[in-house]
Structure 1
Amino acid sequence: MPHRAINGKPVNPIGLGCMSLSWGYGALPERKTAIALLNRALDLGYNHLDTANIYGLGHNETLMGEALKGRRNEFFLATKMGIVIEGEKRGIDCSPASIRRCIDESLTRLQTDHVDLYYMHRRDRTVPIEESVGAMAELVKEGKIGSIGLSEMSADTLRRAAAVHPIAAMQTEYSPWTREPEIAVLDACRELGTTFVAFSPVARGVLANGVRDVAALADNDLRRTMPRFNGDNWPANRALVDAFCTIAADCGVTPAQLSLAWVLSRGDHIVAIPGTASIGHMEENFAQADWTIPADVAARIDALINQHTVAGPRYGEAMQRTIDTEVFGDGWIDG
């Protein structure tokens, strides 16, 4: 498939988000299954893997380090820092001291001497973005990180950061049912030469037709805390998904493949990192990566699923306050 690039390095347009191997969506896969999934991904041609220090409180990085330590030169490795979890308490710390401590801890868990991309997972409003980026720039000079990324931040923050050091990537949720990047960030990324990395490009499994009954989700599934899945909003959203699945069937692709193709069609500076704990779903996500969505099909999706038709914001108020992305001004409070 045609490659895209992050920091000038070629990557396949579909990478692998690794979070769900360690946290987030209910029961975790057995360790041997997770290790098999990571290696199968590389065998298929995935060459961009994304993790973070908080996924499973270090479990995800440790898993990847153990599973792939003999294959480090086969993939572009990204991880993140900045979110701090202590028991039930969650905070953000992007101070220079924390950035330096966290990269060393991550490198140890990942069993490598460098990562290709290091993200600030959230904006720390107590530390100027310029100061945090300056600390990360020092890590670039030292060879511990290849490039700098931001996650869930605004176009204005991106521009301020880029004035200090080139920003290789901006990672934010993006799919037909989460459109906020279209307000400003996609254009800012194109302007600055920053790759936009779309997480949850199949809408947290929804546009893969992976959620039929919200009541069946595990108690520890993070989607249970999201307004779009509550009793008021889910029936309307489920109807949108049913119509979306019909479009996918008309195209001869799966719903997940249709959603991924839609995301990638929004610009050649965009890559997607769908996550899964299923080897079958991982293979499915990659199987039609070279399929180009027809313009008329993209238009049907745009008319069906957008910021006016999706019911509810993606985050509740508490989580919304932790992110820095633009919001729509028409009553939608999605971030």
Structure 2
Amino acid sequence: MGKTFLLRLLLLIACMDPRAEVHAYDLKGTGDLSTVGRVAHRYRAGEEEDDIAYALADLRELRAELRRRAKVIRELPKDLCPESKVTSALADMRKLGLHPIIVGVDECQKWFEHPTHGGEFEEHCTDLVKRGPALGMTLLLATQRPDSKSLPTGISANATLRWCLKVMGQIENDMVLGTGSYKRGIRANLLAWADKGIAWFVGEGSDARVVRSVYLDAVTADALALKLYELRKAAGRLTGHALGEEPEAGTATSYDLLADLLTAIPAGTSKTWSEDIVARLAELRPDVYGEWGPEQLAAAVKPYGIRTVQVWGTTEDGKGANRRGVRRADVLAAIDRRDARSAKTYVHLTIFKDLHEYVEPFGVAVGGDSLKR
């Protein structure tokens, strides 16, 4: 209850730091984050195919930025970066390009449940949530019920800061705050309907605590965004969407990892070493896979239900060796699962459309989940 207001507040707080680059996605499509869009580097409202293409292009760019930042950090002198992570002092050095990047997504389940691109969204967000914090990149995800479909476990398990506003039951409570929270007395379901903006918060310090967010209605939020726009403009910190510079949806390199894997594991080959796969992928699309190693491959295929296995092979000098690799059959099975999900979604939408046309003349309303008598 109130997650969109809280997400908008967190994004506006991020906008108050003129260094911060904000990416805001309103997958509900109602424009609730439009005030943030005034100063955001990337902003989109909706879940149509062009919106999905826009978001994927942005996430691919962010993954590339993640790799660039890792290289910058790796090459910095230890006296400037002793802990191998971005600090506020390093973020102040504009030439390094290590400014804070904050990505906020409302109704994030729309990404992860997408019948075609859900796996890629999961792949990108898993990498960002795991490696992003040390590199000055933060991912904020909001959803009503973070089960394994709405918020994949590889992402939720690495979500260190969690806010839980009022929820209806124990299960939802523990989904957000962690298993066993309800038994320990951390119970967001006991919040009253009047407790708008009040949440249980975990992740900072050893104990969970109740916090209250600041209430900003749409008019106040928009006035604040206008002020922030002027301050950023004066500081020369407006970029991307805030300057009216909109990349065309899908301008980033479009690729299908599963299809590329079939190229890297050619027909007639049952399984291939991971190191050989990433080498072939790098030749195929150097801008996408150029810096991948076996570890990145293993993380990228996991969201599709593919796991690396032991593969016996022969090295260049003729010696036998057992190394991690991928089975072609597993890639084909993952493609079949994806295609089946896509077909199922199409069938459901078609049935819903036909049902609506049949019953509408009789004054019967068709809801998102049921047919009302």
Does TM, scored on the shorter chain, surpass 0.5? no
Q: TM-score, normalised by structure 2?
A: 0.27
Q: Give the number of the structure with larger relative contact order, counting CA–CA contacts within 8 Å between residues 6 or more apart.
A: 1
Q: TM-score, normalised by structure 1?
A: 0.29
Greater Rg by CA? 2
